Amino acid sequence: MTPRPLTRRRYVFTILVWMAVWLIVSAAAVVVGGRLWAWPSAAQVWDVLWLRLEWVATASAVGAALALAGLAMQALLRNPLADPYILGVSGGAGLAFILASLFVGAAAAPALAFVGALATVGLVYGIARRRGRLEPYTLLLAGVILNAFYAAAIMLVTAVVRPQERGDIALWMMGNIGAFGPQWELIGVVAAAAVGAGILFAFLAKGFNLVAMGEDTAGALGVPVHRLRLAAFVAASLVTGASVALAGPIGFVGLICPHILRMVLGPDHRRLVPASFFFGATFLVLADLATCLSEGAAIPAMPVGVLTALAGGPFFIYLLRTRWRKRLEIR
C-alpha cells in the first residue's frame, strides 16, 4: 500500500465516508429488520420503528465501544489475541450485574455493573503496577488471574440460585442487544463513552504507532509512554464496562474488527481509530440484523453474542491461513 501523508482533509473525508456507510447500513437495518413496509397500521409501524431504532442504536454504541476497546488493548498489550475482556473488566461488570439483578433490582444493575468495571480497573492496576508503571506482561497476568476469579465467582452464583434464575444468567452471559422496555438513557451513556474513547484514542493514535516501534523509540520521540498506557487502559476498560452493562459480554467484536481493518488499512492507528469506531458499529448492526432475520425460521432468535462467536471463529482461522497473515502480525 502506497503510504500517503495523512492530511487533515483526508482524515475528515475518511470519517465522513465511514459515517455515511454506518448511517446507510443502520437505516437499512431499521427498515429491513422491522419489515416496516409490512404492518397493517401506522401505530404499529411507529412502535416497531422505535423498537428497531433502539436496537440499532444499542448495536452501534456497543459495536463502536468494543471495537475501540479491542484496538486499544491490542496496542497496549502488543498482543494480537487481546480483546476488550482480556483484563477482566467483563468479569467484574458481569458479576456485579448478576448480583445486582438478583438482589437489588433490574433498574440498578447497569449502574452497579459499571461500578464493578471500575473496581476491576483499580484491582488490575493495583496488581499489575510496578514502580508506578504498567507493563504489558504484568497487565496480561493480572487480567488472567482476575478473569479466572470472576469466572469462578459467577459459576458459584449460578450454582446456588433458583433454576429459572440460572437460565436468565446463562442467557445474559451470551450477550444480547435490546431489552423489553426502553433503555435510552443507558444507550446514551454507552454512546457518549464510545465517542469519548474514540476522541481520546484519536489523540493517542500517534503514540500507539510509536510505541509499536519500541518503547525507547517512542519515548525519545516525545511520547509519554507510561501515561499513554495508563490512559489507554483506563479508557478502554471503562468503555468496555459500560458496554457490558448495556448488552452483556458480546464476544469477538472487539477481537475481529481491529484485525479486519488492519488487513485493509494497515497498522497505522491514526486511520484505525476512526475506522474501528464506525466499522465496529456497522458490524454489530449487521450481526443484529442477521439475528433478527433468522428468527422467522424454526430457530428462535439467537443472542447476537452467539452469532458473532459462531462467525468469528471460522473467519479467524481463514485469516490465519491466508496471505493476510502477514499484515496481521503484531509482535
Partner 1 sequence: MAQTPGNPMIPDGVEGTGGQAAGGTRAGSGTDTGGSSRAAVEADGLHFAYVRGEAVLAGLSMRADAGRLTCVLGPNGSGKTTLLRLLVGLARPGEGEVRLAGRPLGSYRRADLARRVAYVPQETLAAAPFTVAETVLMGRSPHIGALGFESEGDWEAAEAALRQTGTARFADRGLEDLSGGERQRVLLARALAQEPDVILLDEPTAFLDIKHQHAIYSLLRRLARVEGKAVVAVSHDVSLASAYGDRLVLLSKGRVAAAGTPDEVVRPAVLAGVYETPVEVRIDEATGRPYVLPRPPE
Partner 2 sequence: MCRTRSTLLLRAACAAALALAAGCDDSAAPGASSAGAAAPGPGSASAAPAAGEGAAAPPMRILSLAPNLTEILFAMGLGDHIVGRTTYCLHPPEAAALPAVGDTLHLDLEAIIRAEPTLAFTVTRLPETVRRLEGLGIRVVPVENDRLGELREAIATIGRETGRPEAAAALLKTIEADLAAVRGRVAGLARPRTLFAFPMTVGSPRIMIAGRGSFVDELLDVAGAENAYPDAADWPTVSPQQVVAMQPEVVVINAAVPGPAGRDEAIRRGWESLSSVPAVRDGRVYVLPEAYLTIPGPRVGQAARVLAETIHPDLAGEAAP
The residues of the shown chain that bind partner 1, judged by CB under 8 A, are 1-3, 5-8, 11, 78, 202-203, 205-206, 209-210, 212-214, 216-217, 219-224, 266-268, 270, 326-327, 329-331
Helix segments in the chain, DSSP class H = 8-34, 42-77, 89-103, 109-128, 136-160, 163-174, 184-213, 215-220, 225-247, 253-265, 269-294, 304-321, 325-328
d(CA 129, CA 177): 35
**Binding partner of 6, given partner 1, partner 2, none, CB within 5-8 angstroms per partner class:** partner 1
Which of 326, 330, 277 has its CA nearest to residue 1?
326
**Binding partner of 213, given partner 2, partner 1, none, CB within 5-8 angstroms per partner class:** partner 1
Nearest residue (CB) to partner 2, 182 versus 188: 182
Count the residues in the chain: 331
How many Å is the Cα radius of gyration of the chain? 20
**Binding partner of 309, given partner 1, partner 2, none, CB within 5-8 angstroms per partner class:** none
Q: Are 49 and 34 in contact (CB under 8 A)?
A: yes
DSSP code of 37?
A: G
Q: Which three cell numbers stand for residue 35?
A: 419489515
Nearest residue (CB) to partner 2, 1 versus 160: 160
Between 35 and 64, how does the x/- string for binding to partner 2 read (CB under 8 A)?
----x-x-xx-xxx-xx---x---------
Q: Is 109 in the site for partner 2 (CB under 8 A)?
A: yes
Residues that bind partner 2 (CB under 8 A): 34, 39, 41, 43-44, 46-48, 50-51, 55, 97, 101, 104-107, 109, 163, 168, 171-172, 176-182, 248, 295, 300-301, 303
